[in-house]
């Protein structure tokens, strides 16, 4: 949908052209201003970049802060998973049990 402010501005400018005498014949053929299409703001490039970053691209040194390159949350999650895995392994091999203090 074309915005009305744009339409008003274009109508005024076209009527000013007619009054100035630059293009009266063209204005006589089409009295209404032609609607101008709205601008498109595509996010396809941003989404493509985000997808590549999810796969691990663009995470070079000098491309952002350390937190941006490898968030501390992800480091924490990895560390906890490793420790939990070790805990399960030690429980299965009877190295530790619930009674230990």
Mean pLDDT of successive 10-residue segments in the chain (101 residues)?
70 61 59 76 96 87 82 96 96 90 62
HEC letters along 49-82: HHHHHHCCCCCCCCCCCHHHHCCHHHHHHHHHHH
| φ/ψ (deg, to 5) at 55 | -80, -10
Alpha-carbon Rg for the chain in angstroms: 33
Q: How far apart are the first and last CA of the chain?
A: 71
pLDDT attached to residue 59:
78
pLDDT in the model for residue 33: 67
Closest CA to 1 of 29, 36, 31: 36
According to the model, what pLDDT value does residue 61 have? 75
* CA 4/CA 10 separation, integer angstroms: 10
Q: Name the residue ranges covered by the structural domains of the chain.
A: 1-36, 69-101
């Amino acid at each position: 949908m074309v915005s009305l402010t744009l339409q008003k501005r274009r109508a005024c400018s076209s009527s000013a052209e007619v009054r100035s005498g630059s293009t009266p014949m063209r204005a006589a053929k089409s009295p209404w201003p032609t609607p101008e299409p709205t601008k498109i703001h595509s996010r396809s490039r941003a989404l493509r970049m985000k997808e590549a970053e999810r796969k691990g691209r663009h995470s070079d040194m000098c491309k952002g802060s350390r937190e941006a390159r490898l968030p501390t949350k992800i480091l924490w999650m990895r560390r906890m998973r490793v420790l939990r895995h070790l805990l399960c392994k030690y429980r299965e091999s009877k190295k530790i049990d619930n009674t230990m203090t």
